[in-house]
Structure 1
Amino acid sequence: MANTTVRGAQAIHGQNPQHLVETVIRNRIYEAPFWKEHCFALTAETIIDKAIELKAIGGVYGNNKPTEFLCLLLKLLQIQPEKEILVEYLQADEFKYLRALAVMYIRMTFRSVEVYEILEPLLKDYRKIRYRNSAGYELTFMDEFVDQLLNEERVCDIILPRLTKRDVLEDNGEIGPRKSRLLDAMEGRSEKGSDRSRKRGRSESRTPSRSRSISPDRGSNGRFRSRSRSISPDRMDTQP
């Protein structure tokens, strides 16, 4: 009973939600001590406490041992929380691993249009997160993780369901075009520049023109200095 999908759960992509995780990995999760000791009888509410305690994302490591992240992902597939609850997971900004768990689940279970609409705004989340693989821990970022979910076929050792290409959805009118953040910033800058030029034109038309010169003693010899920052392994984020 502990490994069965909740009664009344809807099929996802035409199959049992738990079967979205490959059989080999799913069986290893069922045998994992964390699954047996901490995932039993979890609900959509109590799973939050376990997600908050996570220290990393990841798939399998060592001798094909599943991570706690993967165990909780399977538990979400088993209990199938409502969409409103998942949105609450995403909005809990202070708990980044809870958000990571939610975006992974959404990518695996939601329709392509909803996946783009929900996940793309999270590309602005640049917080550091840990990824556990067979070699140990490595540093990644939330936006990189979301980008992988949108573009790669396998993430955290899980084969993701097929995602319809964005340009196809745009051609069918199912989703609007995605705007570049750089383009938005440039457009905002140009609008501000045009506003300033209009104000300057109005002020100059109201006052007589005067020539102004800058004396040498008022000149500026300031310099611009650029600084680069690098993230070393010893500064890896350790916040849950």
Structure 2
Amino acid sequence: MSGFHQADERRFLDERGSSVSVAPNGLNPATIMEKAVRERIVDSYFWKEQCFGVNEADIVDRVVEHVSCIGGTTGTTQKPTPFLCLALKLLQLAPNDAILAAYLQQGGEKFKYLRALALFYVRLTRTAVDVYTTLEPFLADRRKLRQKTRAGTRLTFVDAFADDLLVQTRVCATSLWKLPQREDLEDLGKLEPRESALGDIDEILDEDDDDDKDDEKENTDSEEENGFPSSKRRRDSGDSSPRRINGNASDQKVQGRQSPQSEPGSDRSRSRTR
């Protein structure tokens, strides 16, 4: 009987970890997904027809032929997507690191959902260090993905999906185990500081500040060439043209009031005094 394939797929779910080897992160692969989700997957038509008796190589064919979106359960009946069904199948097959690397290395539009499936499986079963080192390189993958939710279908990207796996607590109708902060792993010496694909953020901010200063200087020079005093010079001088005009007018009024020549009869008053 050992040469026959076990027809009852529920055997994997009913072992409760007694004979199933645990995942590298110490979790039981048979209980990583919630019980309600597992039961919906096992009762689905796609699981019974396309996930029966497949191996790691067949997973590639199933993804290319049947997976056109990522997601968990959809609709009012919470029907599991083929993506989620194949994720449970990977939990049952427990592929090694070499097979996962082969999944992740496949590029092009044809295998983008295979890469997303491998990233999802790595997040479920691997240790925190392996999760960061495996998922972070794919934060630069800008290929488009369709994501199906209960509300409908929306557009996302491979890098956005990888980022959700790193920061979210629930993805594709599956609760993810809590991932330690990257800064804590760096303090423990388990991870090197991450280098962004954009480069050093401090250097980028310094370059932006220098560009702003150069633009301000160019604007100042252009104003002086056109005969307009710069705003900085006006601020340093302490006055502006409108204030000088108003000041001159007010000064003239004050001088007109205080000047003896402007007062009528001033000469006569002096002569009488004399």
- TM-score bucket (shorter structure): 0.7 to 0.9
Is the 2:140–2:197 contact (alpha carbons within 8 Å) kept by the matching residues of 1?
A: no
User: Highest CA radius of gyration, 1 or 2?
Assistant: 2
**Structure 1 consecutive aligned stretches of length 4 or more whose deviation exceeds 4 Å:** 6-9, 184-188
2:59 is the counterpart of 1:47: yes
Cross-structure match for 1:10: 21
Counterpart among 48, 65, 68 of residue 82 in structure 2: 68
2:159 is the counterpart of 1:143: yes
Structure 2: where are the runs of 5+ without partners? 1-7, 207-274
Give SS of 1:181's match. Answer: coil
Mapped partners of 2:161, 2:198: distance in 1: 21
Mapped partners of 1:60, 1:20: distance in 2: 16
| Structure 2 residue identity aligned to 1:103 | L
Mapped partners of 2:95, 2:26: distance in 1: 18
Give SS of 1:46's match. Answer: helix
Give the superposed CA RMSD: 2.2
Deviation of residue 2 (structure 1)? 1.8
Deviation of residue 14 (structure 1)? 4.0
Matches within 5 A, 1:122-161: 122-161=138-177
Matches within 5 A, 1:81-100: 81-94=95-108, 95-100=111-116
Mapped partners of 2:167, 2:202: distance in 1: 26
Mapped partners of 1:133, 1:180: distance in 2: 30
Deviation of residue 179 (structure 1)? 1.6
Is the 1:4–1:78 contact (alpha carbons within 8 Å) kept by the matching residues of 2?
A: no
| CA shift in 2, pair 1:5/1:80, >3 Å | farther
Deviation of residue 5 (structure 1)? 3.3
Identity %: 46
Structure 1: where are the runs of 5+ without partners? 191-240
Q: What TM-score comes out, normalization by structure 2 length? A: 0.65
Is the 1:9–1:80 contact (alpha carbons within 8 Å) kept by the matching residues of 2?
A: no
Is the 1:5–1:79 contact (alpha carbons within 8 Å) kept by the matching residues of 2?
A: no
| Structure 1 residue identity aligned to 2:101 | V
Give SS of 1:87's match. Answer: helix
Counterpart among 26, 31, 41 of residue 29 in structure 1: 41
| Structure 2 residue identity aligned to 1:3 | R
| Deviation by residue 1:78-110 (Cα, 9 ceiling, x = unmatched) | 110111000000000120000000000000100
| CA shift in 2, pair 1:14/1:184, >3 Å | closer
Mapped partners of 2:168, 2:62: distance in 1: 27
2:32 is the counterpart of 1:20: yes
2:64 is the counterpart of 1:57: no
Mapped partners of 1:103, 1:2: distance in 2: 24
Is the 2:44–2:79 contact (alpha carbons within 8 Å) kept by the matching residues of 1?
A: yes
How many pairs does the alignment contain? 189
- Report 1 or 2 for greater relative contact order, CA contacts < 8 Å, sequence distance ≥ 6: 1
